[in-house]
Structure 1
Amino acid sequence: MSSGLSVHSCVMICPGIHEPQLTQDFLEALRRDETANLLSGEIKQVLIFPTQDYPAYSAMHILEFLQRHTRQTTPVIFISFSAGVAGAIGAAWAWEMLGGKVKAFMAFDGWGVPLYGNFPIYRVSHDYFTHWSSALLGAGVESFYADPAIEHLDLWRSPDRCLGWWVGRTAANHTEHKENTTAAHFVNQVLQLA
Structure 2
Amino acid sequence: MAASLVICPGIHSPELTTGFLQGLNLVPTRDDIFVFPTQDYPAYSGLDILRFVENSVPPTTPPIFISFSAGVVGAIAASQLSSLKSHPIKAFIALDGWGVPLVGSVPIHRLSHDFFTHWSSALLGRGETSFYADPAVEHLKLWHSPQEVWGWREVRLGLRNRVSAAIFLKELLQQYEFPCF
For Structure 1 versus Structure 2, the TM-score category normalised by the shorter chain is over 0.9
- Paired residue for 2:21, among 22, 27, 30? 27
| Alignment: residue pair count | 174
- Paired residue for 1:140, among 127, 132, 152? 127
Instruction: Name 2:68's counterpart in structure 1.
Output: 81
Q: Distance in 1 between matches of 2:18 and 2:119?
A: 28
Instruction: Name 1:14's counterpart in structure 2.
Output: 8
Q: Tell me the alpha carbon deviations over residues 72-131 of structure 1, each in whole angstroms, 9 at most, x when there is no partner.
A: 343110000000000000000111111111111000000000000111000000000000
Matched position secondary structure for 2:119: helix
| 1:108-147 map, 5 Å | 108-147=95-134
Task: Evaluate the alpha carbon distance shift between residue 101 and residue 44 of structure 1 in structure 2; reply closer, same or farther with a 3 A threshold.
Answer: farther
Where structure 2 has 5 or more consecutive residues not aligned to the other structure, the ranges are 177-181
Where structure 1 has 5 or more consecutive residues not aligned to the other structure, the ranges are 1-5, 32-37, 170-174
Q: Distance in 1 between matches of 2:158 and 2:84?
A: 32
Instruction: Name 1:179's counterpart in structure 2.
Output: 161
Runs of 4+ more than 4 Å apart: none
Give the AA of the match of 2:129: E
Q: Distance in 1 between matches of 2:125 and 2:79?
A: 15
- After TM superposition, give the deviation of residue 71 of structure 1 in Å: 3.0
Q: Tell me the alpha carbon deviations over residues 162-186 of structure 1, each in whole angstroms, 9 at most, x when there is no partner.
A: 01000012xxxxx631110100000
- Paired residue for 1:68, among 36, 39, 55? 55
Residues 66 and 93, structure 2, Cα contact 8 Å, conserved in 1: yes
TM value normalised by structure 1: 0.86
| 1:31-110 map, 5 Å | 31=25, 45-110=32-97
Residues 93 and 110, structure 2, Cα contact 8 Å, conserved in 1: yes
Residues 146 and 164, structure 2, Cα contact 8 Å, conserved in 1: yes
- After TM superposition, give the deviation of residue 157 of structure 1 in Å: 0.4
TM value normalised by structure 2: 0.92
RMSD: 1.4
Residues 57 and 63, structure 2, Cα contact 8 Å, conserved in 1: no
Among all aligned residue pairs of Structure 1 and Structure 2, give the percentage whose two residues are the same amino acid: 53
- After TM superposition, give the deviation of residue 140 of structure 1 in Å: 0.7
